[in-house]
Amino acid sequence: MERSISTGRFVATGSGVCLYCPRTDIRAYGLCEVHYKRWRTGRPMDAPYYPTRVHAASYKRVRIDGVVKRQHRVLMAERLGRELQPWEVVHHKDGNPRNNDPDNLKLVSWVEHSKIHMTLGEI
């Protein structure tokens, strides 16, 4: 893929490799998933890659009364003895979204959660 000078769009060259990295999982316009998202959101293409969020499919889920909920939120609600508010976030201390050990979970606000991940260099 190369960028057309007249239209600014990418045109196929048949390489099958991302224009900015060696990944072969091309999403569109000759860009891998990471660079395609950067292009769509206006982020610089040469910035280091830090995953900014865990995919929702990574969390364990449970069905309670026919409603599917994320297990870590259910466990924290049981621990506190109340429902969680929408602005409360359950942080996995070890970064593993599938490790729902009560000692690994911490209740924080969105702001605190963002600060935690900023200090870890993920945002």
Q: Does residue 35 share a domain with residue 65? A: no
pLDDT reported for residue 9: 55
47 inside domain: no
Domain, as residue range, for 32: 2-41
- Phi, then psi, of 89 in degrees rounded to 5: -120, 135
What's the pTM?
0.53
Q: Does residue 113 share a domain with residue 74? A: yes
Give the number of domains in the chain.
Answer: 2
Q: Does residue 63 share a domain with residue 19? A: no
Summarize pLDDT for 12-57 with one digit per residue, the tens: 445 678 887 777 878 888 888 888 888 888 777 776 555 445 556 6
In angstroms, the CA 49 to CA 38 distance is: 10
66 inside domain: yes
- Phi, then psi, of 117 in degrees rounded to 5: -75, -25
Q: Does residue 106 share a domain with residue 69? A: yes
Quick one: pLDDT band at residue 1, thresholds 50, 70, 90?
Answer: very low
- Phi, then psi, of 74 in degrees rounded to 5: -65, -45
In angstroms, the CA 65 to CA 74 distance is: 13
- Look at 122 and 92; give whichever has higher pLDDT: 92
76 inside domain: yes
